[in-house]
Amino acid sequence: MEYKRILVKGVNWVGDAIFITPALSALRSGFPKAKISLLVPENLAEIYEGNPNIDELIVYGRGGRLKEKIKLIRTLREKKFNLGIIMQSTSYEPAILFYLARIPERVGYSHSLRNLLLTKVVKRSKKTQHEVDFFLGLVKALGVEITRKEVFMAEDGEAKEWARNFLIKSSYGKDDLLVGIFPGAYFGPAKRWFPKRYATLADSLIKSYRARVILFGGKNDLPLIQKIIDKMTANPINAVGKTSLKQLRALIEKCRLFITNDSGPLQVASTTKTPIVALFGSSDPEKTRPWRKEDCTIIYKKVSCSPCFRRKCKKLICFKEISAEDVFQAAKTYLNRECQSNQ
């Protein structure tokens, strides 16, 4: 069946926002004549700017007032969408929104009473699958053949220029070995490796490779980052709370290596060619590892309770099993290659 106007309800997390991009590509391939609109919260909109598979971005504020929600419903009604696809797997709000917007066909994953608001209910796979495949399942349920699976976030010229100027102001030289570290994870502390070990790792990289280490994070990560800086003997470049998502991507592109927990910036990094070392604790790399496998090392010590998917954990046995030396050895593989290529 052909659709003229398709509305996709996006997700609320940075990592998931990257994971749905192959589904958007598949949707464009399956319905090349349709106008595809994407409804996303304003904090994630820039991830999709420049995406060739989207014709229109509809941005809304999360937690808006009733008046704003009514206005959004009216806006969606006026656009007369033929098909609505809900990427969020359990949320009731987008299903109610699509119903009130009078979108005749509404597709989403099966979830309790939410099914009453959908016209096509898609069953979940019982097997563990990567989130990219999970989101693609909704498009596949529409009869679309999946031929490509690539995550995407467009380069941005202004962000690249900003990154260049930021590094110049940070006394970075073009021949310096730049290593990025994101030690946070918005989901919760059970996904964060220990600040002391990040500090030890950063100092080792600086001592062994004369690397310039740049620390990333949002404003909420400032206390965490300060703990790391306080424990370091060397001085890192501090980019915490200073970047947009586009600027974050542009800085990661400048890095020779990016080290991080399972997080949104990990998935942003996966849209670049920068080598990655990713540390997994409470989560499952089979579900949320970077989709790009080239130049990507996963460090995951599966223990008896793994994966627990908890936000908080008092024991953190999984992370205690990962030493600073483990991560340093993984980093060496990429940094030695970089040093050899520059000789």
Cβ atoms within 10 A of the Cβ of 262, count?
27
Query: Distance (Å, rounded) from C-alpha 109 to C-alpha 94?
Result: 12
Query: Distance (Å, rounded) from C-alpha 90 to C-alpha 110?
Result: 8
H/E run at residue 165: helix 157-169
Domain ranges within the chain, ordered by starting residue = 5-140, 157-341
Superfamily of domain 157-341 in the CATH hierarchy: Glycogen Phosphorylase B; (3.40.50.2000)
Q: What is the pLDDT of residue 181?
A: 98
Burial zone of 19 (CB within 10 Å; 0-12 exposed, 13-18 middle, 19+ buried): buried
- From 116, 273, 262, select the one nearest 182 (Cα to Cα): 262
Question: Into which CATH architecture does domain 5-140 fall?
Answer: 3-Layer(aba) Sandwich (3.40)
Equal CATH topology for 5-140 and 157-341: yes
H-helix segments, the chain: 14-19, 21-30, 66-79, 93-100, 131-140, 157-169, 195-209, 222-231, 245-254, 264-269, 285-288, 317-320, 324-341
pTM > 0.75: yes or no: yes
Query: How many residues appear in the chain?
Result: 343
* Residue for token pair 């980052």: 225
Cβ atoms within 10 A of the Cβ of 2, count?
8
Burial zone of 189 (CB within 10 Å; 0-12 exposed, 13-18 middle, 19+ buried): middle
Triad 196, 199, 201: Cα angle to 5°: 110
In which residue ranges of the chain is pLDDT below 50? none
H/E run at residue 215: strand 212-215
Q: What is the pLDDT of residue 175?
A: 86
Q: What is the pLDDT of residue 1?
A: 76
